[in-house]
Amino acid sequence: MARIEPLYPSDAIAARLEVLAGDIAARMAGNFALIAILKGSFVFAADLIRALAGRRVNPDVDFMTLASYGTGTVSSGTVRLLRDVEIEVAGREVLIVDDILDSGRTIAYARRHLLERGAAAVRVCVLLDKTAGREAQKRESADFIGFSCPPAFVVGYGMDHAHKFRGLPFVAVLSEH
């Protein structure tokens, strides 16, 4: 049976979102495109977009669906593009928003794909940064980070395990018992 252990409560996430929105508003060009990576980032992206709007920053928003986990707790090692962006990114600054930076494969794929489509620059914002899953010499990085993540499988706040737990209003560690 799965056990849920809260890691980051909703009030801590809300406070951190305000800081991230301020940092993004200060560093990104006025006409940037925000690309949320589905499915895990949808809650984080929605809250971040509202926090940006509170600062009168209204980027064009679109979504990419990438997959590497399936229903397991370990990445398959292969990233698949299931849905591409529809808005024009050529010549624009782009902000990728994702739930977690783990192995770095998804972010590397998304960044490379958007640059190939002509993006002028690609920055990355993640809710969680799990450095334990990345090799130091090939480490992807994020420009904007919500929280560090322990070397554990996390769920909630949009993140799932086998399509469950996305609706939790907080981030939690999932452990099997």
Domain-embedded: residue 64: yes
- Per-residue model confidence as pLDDT tens digits over 2-19: 799 999 999 999 999 999
Q: Tokens 């990355």 identify what position?
A: 124
Q: How many domains does the chain have?
A: 1
| Under 8 Å between Cβ of 166 and 107 | no
Domain-embedded: residue 5: no
- CA–CA dist 125, 2 (Å, integer): 29
Domain-embedded: residue 3: no
Domain-embedded: residue 29: yes
In Å, how far are 129, 149, 166 from 143, measured between CA atoms?
11, 16, 25
Q: What is the span of the domain harbouring residue 146?
A: 10-150
Q: Is the pLDDT of residue 174 over 50?
A: yes
Residues linked to residue 129 through DSSP beta bridges, in sequence order: 101, 148
Q: Which of 47, 98, 99, 102 is catalytic?
A: 102
Q: Is 102 a catalytic residue?
A: yes
CATH number at residue 59: 3.40.50.2020
Domain-embedded: residue 176: no
Q: List the one residue out of 74, 124, 119, 72 whose CA is nearest residue 98.
A: 124
Q: Is the pLDDT of residue 110 over 60?
A: yes
Domain-embedded: residue 4: no
DSSP-based three-state secondary structure for 72: coil
- Per-residue model confidence as pLDDT tens digits over 34-83: 999 999 999 999 999 999 999 999 999 999 999 875 555 555 578 999 99
Domain-embedded: residue 139: yes
Whole-prediction pTM value? 0.91
pLDDT at residue 137, rounded to an integer:
46
DSSP state of 14: H
- Beta strand pairing status for 33-38 and 60-67? parallel
- Per-residue model confidence as pLDDT tens digits over 86-100: 999 999 999 999 999
Domain-embedded: residue 91: yes
- Per-residue model confidence as pLDDT tens digits over 127-146: 999 988 656 546 789 999 99
| Under 8 Å between Cβ of 123 and 144 | yes
